[in-house]
């Protein structure tokens, strides 16, 4: 008898939404903890900070047969000053990283949501390894910085690339 590892089924059906339900918020914070504390070790214990008090949590929800099963990706956005929006804590669950639509989908919804709320400039501090993804989506690097001991880029979204498709 041959015993092979059974890998869980991962459906490609992913929806993007503001996290509003209790289970989504619990999973949002749990996934952030797994990514930024356990995997990347950027924070010890928990990655929550004062920004979470005003941030809008956004999730990618993996669905099977149209039924939401789990939070597969996360990002948060917040308005720092009137019209000045930021995004942060973008991450995808390890089991869903082969689905290349999760990061871009979260970024698009983040910028579009901010634009609907009066955004005139949207920025983020992005890990260097993710700069190309953001550039493909219409972002530009404004400066190189160190954050959490790692090379990052401060980036700004070209809002016209996102506002034309806002519904």
**Would residue 148 be called left, alpha or beta, if left means φ above 0 and alpha means ψ between -120 and 50 degrees?**
left
Q: Rounded CA gap, 23 and 67, in Å?
A: 14
- Stretch 97-118: mean pLDDT, rounded? 95
Spatial contact of 77 and 110, defined as CB atoms under 8 Å apart: yes
Tokens of 68: 């939401």
User: What is the residue extent of each domain of the chain?
Assistant: 14-163
Residue partners of 35: CB distance under 8 A and separation at least 6: 74, 91, 92, 93
pLDDT value of residue 69:
82
Q: What's the number of CA atoms in the CB half-sphere (13 Å) around residue 46?
A: 7
The whole-number pLDDT of residue 75 equals 98
* Position with higher pLDDT, 63 vs 21: 21
Strands 121-127 and 56-64: unpaired
CA dihedral 121, 100, 40, 76 (to 10 degrees): 30
State the average pLDDT over residues 110-120.
97
Name the one residue in this structure whose structure tokens are 């749990």: 30
Sign of dihedral through CA atoms 159, 70, 48, 55?
positive
Query: Higher-confidence residue: 105 or 3?
Result: 105
> Containing H/E element for 85?
strand 84-92
pLDDT tens sequence across 4-26: 776 665 567 899 999 999 999 99
Neighbours of 114 (CB within 10 A): 25
Distance in angstroms (rounded) separating the CA atoms of residues 87 and 125? 8
Arch. (CATH architecture) of 14-163: 3-Layer(aba) Sandwich (3.40)
């Amino acid at each position: 008898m041959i015993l092979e590892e059974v890998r869980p089924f991962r459906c490609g059906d992913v929806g993007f939404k503001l996290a509003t339900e209790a289970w989504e918020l619990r999973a949002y914070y749990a996934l952030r903890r797994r990514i930024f504390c356990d995997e990347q070790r950027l924070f010890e214990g928990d990655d929550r900070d004062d920004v979470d008090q005003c941030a809008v949590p956004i999730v990618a929800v993996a669905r099977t047969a149209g039924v939401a099963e789990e939070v597969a990706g996360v990002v948060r956005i917040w308005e720092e000053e009137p019209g000045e929006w930021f995004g942060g804590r973008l991450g995808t669950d390890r089991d869903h990283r082969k689905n290349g639509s999760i990061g871009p989908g979260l970024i698009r919804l983040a910028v579009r949501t901010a634009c609907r709320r009066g955004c005139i400039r949207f920025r983020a501090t992005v890990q260097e390894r993710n700069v190309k993804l953001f550039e493909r989506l219409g972002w530009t690097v404004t400066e190189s910085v160190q954050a959490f001991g790692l090379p990052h880029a401060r980036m700004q979204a070209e809002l016209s690339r996102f506002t034309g498709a806002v519904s």
